[in-house]
Amino acid sequence: MSDFDLVIVGTGSANSIPGPEFDDWSIAIVERGTFGGTCLNVGCIPSKMFVYAADVADTIATAGDYGIAATFDGADWPAIRDRVFGRIDPIASGGRDYRMGRECSNITVFEGDACFVSDRRLVVRMHDGSTESVSGRHVVLGAGARAFVPLYRGLGTVPAHTSDTVMRLDSLPESMIVLGGGYIACELGYVFSALGTAVTVINRGERLLRAEDDDISQAFTAAAQRHFDLRLGATVTLVRGGAATGVPVRGGAATGDSARGEFVYAADGTPSAQGNTYTVEFTRGGAAEAVSADVLLVATGRVPNGDQLALDLGGVSDEQGRVLTDEFFRTSAQGVWAFGDLSSEVQLKHLANAQVRALRHNLLVAEGQADGPMRTVREDLVPHAVFSHPQVASVGLTERDARAAGLPITVANKPFGHTAYGWAMEDHSSFAKLIAHAETRELLGAHIIGPQASTLIQQLIGGMAFGQTVDQMAHDQFYIHPALTEVIENALLEL
């Protein structure tokens, strides 16, 4: 039994809490997986490195549009994969070694699964089979989220992939089924499609990226037909197949010891695509359909890990596994804090990073080591991007949300092709959509679909954050001609 000043659960953004200000604190860090969290190991960073390779392949494949004779003759998947994880894996292991080394003499690392047993006390089931009990004057929960697996009949007993495993495949599959229509499905599906895999996307909704502005979602769905065999409006009735190798899909209620006897487990604990054939049966429009492929990717979203922490025993309130906090990241339990994917409805790394910077300050304020007040993070202007093809970026309200709120609005929709750079790109489908308050002239929302969307939106994020009107954004600065940023200028001028 060990008592600490601070117990940190998770090594994603939470790993940045210990710094010089905490050198006189005794700190416990609990990690059940790989150091670095979702973003570094199975999320933002590796997926975008794969996306970049896919973009290069797609550029080659479409070079003929610009009078360039080039052909895409295939991808060396192991080389692409090893370039990605050859950079990432050393960072993860280096982070672990640093926290366990002499440079962090005030920190003790516990590798295992933690859950509450009482107020600010947790038991850690260590990977070596032992059990440790730790308590803290403060406990910070940064345990993140995991892949959600729907309870489709048969899905829990086939060796399917999630985003946690599919990027480490041994070889590029000839065919793949993707279940889902959100950003993970659209990003990873695009990666495999652009590199040569025949990808079928099966989605319950009639559109992909349905959380985006309606015009963006519709445009993306239309454009995605180039990369995917789309089966939309589908109700999955059965998932079957898969050779007797690998592991059942992870993250869902159907997995666990009861399923382990049906499979021979790979040494590295990941599914194998070799020899597998998967079939997904579904109905749409009243008709039964079935699709078969070599690999099955379940990309139906992510859920917070709060249900795995025995929160009730620690007096921590939650809502279906999402830890509830106040604006300063305090939970219902005295001395227990939470942030990031575990507690935020918006699961984004840049939000978690901003939250943890505020939280570490608040910890010091709570101990009288820093001047108040405590800090919070504004969440109404948190932007996001989808790194698929085409790229999508968004901040603020969608048009449907603005109208539902009864706001007086004006809307501008400017195609990339109305600018000189758009002509150069032969772009005929990308656009920027802006939504402004008709009376105050505030920019309420910005939504972009097309090349460089995640970069183009940044100047609008800045304008919104600093309270500029759309007129100030349009007129009080220069826009380089003929740069693609003229798309934004033109949209602002139209409002």
Question: Which residues are catalytically annotated?
Answer: 481
Count the alpha carbons within 13 Å of 360 in the hemisphere toward its beta carbon: 18
Q: Determine contact, residues 112/309, Cβ cutoff 8 Å.
A: no
Q: Which two tokens stand for residue 321?
A: 């596994």
CA distance 353 to 234: 37
Q: Is 53 helix (H, G, I), strand (E, B) or coil?
A: helix
Q: Determine contact, residues 341/352, Cβ cutoff 8 Å.
A: yes
* Beta-ladder partners of 296: 177
Burial class for 299, CB neighbours closer than 10 Å (0-12, 13-18, 19+): buried
CA distance 432 to 55: 21
* Beta-ladder partners of 236: 282
Tell me the residue type at 45. Answer: I
For 188, phi then psi, to 5°, come to -70, -35
DSSP 32-49: SS-TTHHHHHTSHHHHHH
DSSP character at residue 492 = H
CA distance 354 to 383: 13
From 388, 435, 487, 405, select the one nearest 213 (Cα to Cα). Answer: 435
From 398, 423, 338, select the one nearest 66 (Cα to Cα). Answer: 423
Burial class for 268, CB neighbours closer than 10 Å (0-12, 13-18, 19+): exposed
CA distance 30 to 99: 11
CA distance 119 to 438: 51
Strand pairing category for 121-126 and 107-118: antiparallel
- CA atoms 370, 373, 374, 379: torsion sign: negative
Give the residue ranges of DSSP H helices in 225-313: 257-260
